[in-house]
Amino acid sequence: MGLLIAVEGVDGSGSTTHVHRLGCTLSELGLRVHTTREPSNGPFGRILRSAIDGNLTDEAINWRGISWKTMTLLFAADRAMHVEFEIEPYLREGFVVITDRYYHSTLAYQGASAQLVGAGCDVSWIIEVHRFIRRPDLTLVLAPPDAVAAQRRQYRGKQGLYDADDFQVIVGEMYRKLQEWLPEERIVYVDSSQPEEEVARSVLDVVLGVIEEKRKVASQDL
């Protein structure tokens, strides 16, 4: 039973922590689990991650000046390879695949970038770019208040390409519109300002509900 779960949220939402916790818990319950992330570990993903972390120096490229459309296409190229060479093979083998970020991040982050430069946010174009990308069975959006996420980023101590607080506030606004933009998808919001154990329980409850629902559908098809 292949299942694709995307975990999303602003920087400081706790997505990486809860991808790890969810993967470990599902494995303990006897499920085959594969956790992954975006940008991926592929060639495009490594370049993007270095740029986001502020570790990529290239005299020919000012990464902070690259347009939101160009970044959308770079992320989409990385995502297409990620799906083809990692996500889909595990799904075919019946794994639960949990990805720390997916195309919803592009909607939120590049949408926010477009808004900052006064270009508006043509999400229909971003969605169209991803027309052939595998849809997740569940998207969990970890949604702490802006101040909580900002405090966590400050504690982390690094300043990446997208870490400015005013930018992250806009990113949060974009995430809150996902259900409007993608009404056919199962998108669940979780308040991740709560203690980590409570958030983990909330996440697990949602995921187990989706797994049980999928099992029932599969049994009916036999």
Mean pLDDT of 1-29: 96
Mean pLDDT of the chain: 92
Picking from 11, 126, 27, the residue whose alpha carbon sits closest to that of residue 73 is: 126
| pLDDT over 90, % of the chain | 78
In tens, the pLDDT along 182-199 reads 999 999 999 999 999 999
Mean pLDDT of 37-64: 83
Model's pTM, two decimal places? 0.94
How much is the pLDDT for 189?
98
How much is the pLDDT for 58?
66
Mean pLDDT of 96-123: 89
Mean pLDDT of 28-38: 98
Answer whether residue 53 shows pLDDT above 90.
no
Answer whether residue 31 shows pLDDT above 90.
yes
Residue with tokens 């706790």: 14
How much is the pLDDT for 81?
98
In tens, the pLDDT along 114-141 reads 988 776 667 889 999 999 999 999 999 9
Sign of CA dihedral 49, 52, 57, 63: positive
- Catalogue the E-assigned strands of 92-186: 96-100, 138-142
Q: Which two tokens stand for residue 220?
A: 């009916």
In tens, the pLDDT along 148-176 reads 999 999 887 667 789 899 999 999 999 99
How much is the pLDDT for 54?
75
3-class SS at 211? helix
